[in-house]
Amino acid sequence: MTVALGEADMPMIRRRRISAVARGDRHPWTFYALATVFILYVAALYGPMICIYLLSFQDIRGGLVFPMKGHSLHWFIDLFTQVRTGDVKGSFDRSIKLAALVTVITLVVSLMAGLAFRRRFLGDTVVFYLMIGSLVAPGLVLGLGIGLLFQWIGISPSWYTSALGAQLSWTLPFGVLVMFAVMSRFNSAWEEAARDLGASRWQIIRLVVIPVLAPGLVAVALFGFTLSYDEFARTLQTAGSLNTLPLEIWSMTLNVTSPSLYALGTVTTIVSFIIIGACIGAIIVINKRRGMRATGH
Amino acid sequence: MQRPNLSAWLYVTPLMLVLVPFFLLPTLVVLVASFFETDGFGGLLPTLTLSNHVDVLTSAQTFLLYVTTLKFAILTWLFTLIIGFPVAYFLVFHVRSQLLAIGLFLICTIPFWTSNIIRMISWIPLLGKEGLVNSTLLGIGVIREPLEVLLYSGLAVVIAYVHQLTIFMVVPIFNSLARIDKRVVEAALDAGASRLDVMRYIIIPMSKSGIALGSTFVISIVMGDFFVVKVMSGGGSASVVSAFYENVGVLQYPAAAASAVLLTLVLIAMIALILRVVDIRREITQ
């Protein structure tokens, strides 16, 4: 009896030790090992990028490697005034317009597809696998296909037709996947309540679905904009005669060997960061307002 | 039964209006073009032939390209998994404040929303002959002459891939780990399981779907890439797609299309193999 009791005590002691760990009294050694891995990962993720941002602020003597030679905005001015670096301003302009267009279409189409996929419907598997196929298809191959298709139909490719479609074939699967994640937390009881109260289908979407899903829709917009703004492989063969910004950067990597390449990297990353910051900020503000309303009532 | 189907198709129509003309039809066009002949000036002659496929399948160059590309794909997959899994595990199981976890997760994902090309060239000041790594190693006397293998080599290609693609491993694994009920782990520990047991019998089996999804992303991106190989190998290596792109450049569309068809088949086979582990549809939509 006593022996049995002693044995039964063992797990109790064990559990006490573990729950002490879980309460936060002491971190296990694995915490420190994994924290080190995490910190090294983040350092490797951002370190190289920070290097080129720093190097883009060198003066006219600057080269492609450290040490820094002086400080100036020379390479940024060079970027927008020199002809040999290509049509940076024009391509920048086109990229922003195209990304805005892609964002709007991605938002609307992803929302609608997300609503459709809440229930199973005839042929849903076909649509789903078409989407996954479009996501994993090699961009350059798809670009050739779109190029040949346009050639056969007799439409000349341009950034606002063939490249727009090519980019949508990339951003839409991402947008719909994000919508799946967002929709999984959508309670259909809210929708039913609205219907019981006499709301029309459009009213339900406008007054219930869109406000509830707002943070998720901002995330879809973020994906739409940034993926289009940086898209390269699918755009390469479909943009026609006028370049988008990533295509401009690509041709620069092949023939420009001055820090103006880094300066372009800095400029385009700043634009990305502004978009990312605005979207994350919007999501935080929406959630905070909701929290205040929830506690206020 | 009929009505809900109809409205679902109504909602999904805009998606299909993009996927059919910009994914399905172009893929079919490439398939058809692979059976055509070229007139040598970028035009296609609609005489059906198998010679493009025979050329691709019997060329020794094709075999070498696939060996190189598969080598890059497997190495990249291995490193992204080795780095991505602990990173995701740390975020889910070791960061206790949820707000901090979200913040750290965002820090990991932000580079995904910036330019891939810029992130690739950002290795030049580090790995170059006069780069930071070489000058540091020279400075502390580990090496006498700068290492040439750091940049414009296979090593640089793998580094650039891992740098770009680890996030594709982290996010799906993070999602699948976050779904694990922490009480299951506690119950196992209470029942006397060791940490290794918990890892082997709970964590890894339950994160299999995330690993499979991440692997699909990483492998399909590496297999379909050409610009990392082109820039980071300095012309030293070629991938399947860079050879394809050269064919397009000299207007050999049928030959390019035939190699694209082969690549697509190889990709489908690899992904099917990965997805035997997991029902991707159920994992994503649940």
Model confidence at A108, in pLDDT bands (50, 70, 90)? Answer: very high
The pLDDT score that the predictor gives to residue A59 is 83
Quick one: closest CA in A to B86, which residue? A34
Kindly report the average pLDDT of chain A as a whole number. 84
Threshold 0.90, pTM exceeds: no
Name the helix (H) or strand (E) containing B42: none
Q: Note whether B265 contacts A: Cβ–Cβ < 8 A.
A: no
DSSP 8-state class, residue A232: -
Q: How confident is the model at residue A250 (pLDDT cuts 50, 70, 90)?
A: confident
Q: Are residues B168 and B215 in contact, defined by beta-carbon separation less than 8 angstroms?
A: no
Q: Which of A60-69, A120-129, B10-19 has the lowest mean pLDDT?
A: A60-69
Q: Residue A241 pLDDT more than 70?
A: yes
Beta carbons of B23 and A134 less than 8 Å apart: yes
Q: Given the structure tokens 């559990």, which residue do they identify?
A: A15
A43 pLDDT band, cuts 50/70/90, is very high
Q: Cβ B27–A124 below 8 Å, yes or no?
A: no
pLDDT score of A8 more than 80: no
**What's the pLDDT tens digit per position in B194-222?**
888 889 999 998 898 889 989 999 999 99
Q: Which residues of A touch B135 (CB under 8 A)?
A: 66
Query: In chain B, what are the helix, strand and coil shares in percent, each to the nearest 5?
Result: 75, 0, 25
**Cβ neighbours for B83, distance < 8 A, ≥ 6 positions apart:** A37, A41, B162, B166, B169
Low-confidence ranges of chain B (pLDDT < 50): 1-2
Select, from the ranges A62-66, A91-95, A120-124, the one with the highest average predicted confidence (pLDDT).
A91-95
CA distance A29 to chain B (A): 11
* Residue B5 CB-half CA count within 13 A: 6
CA distances from B89 to A73, B53, B81, B93, B152 (A): 42, 45, 12, 6, 33
Residue whose structure tokens are 């090496």: B143
Mutate to test the interface with B, among A141, A149, A225 (most CBs of B within 10 A): A141
Q: Does A49 touch chain B (CB under 8 A)?
A: yes
The pLDDT assigned to A142 comes to 93
Which pLDDT belongs to residue B67? 92
Q: Is the pLDDT of residue A275 over 50?
A: yes
pLDDT score of A84: 61
Banded pLDDT at A85 (limits 50, 70, 90): low
What is the rounded average pLDDT for all residues in chain B? 87
**Buried-exposed string A263-275: b where 16+ CB fall within 10 A, e elsewhere:** bbbbbbbebbeeb
Amino acid A73: pLDDT: 86
Least confident of A1-5, A72-76, B278-282: A1-5
Regarding an ipTM greater than 0.90, the answer is: no
**In terms of C-beta density within 10 A (0-12 exposed, 13-18 middle, 19 or more buried), how is residue A197 classed?**
exposed
Q: What is the pLDDT of residue A23?
A: 47
State the burial class of residue A241 (Cβ atoms within 10 Å of its Cβ: 0-12, 13-18, 19+): exposed
Tokens of B170: 């982290």
Q: Which of A19, A21, A29, A38 to mutate to test the interface with B (most CBs of B within 10 A)?
A: A38
Percent of chain A with pLDDT over 70: 89
Can you read off the two tokens belonging to residue B276? Answer: 């035997």
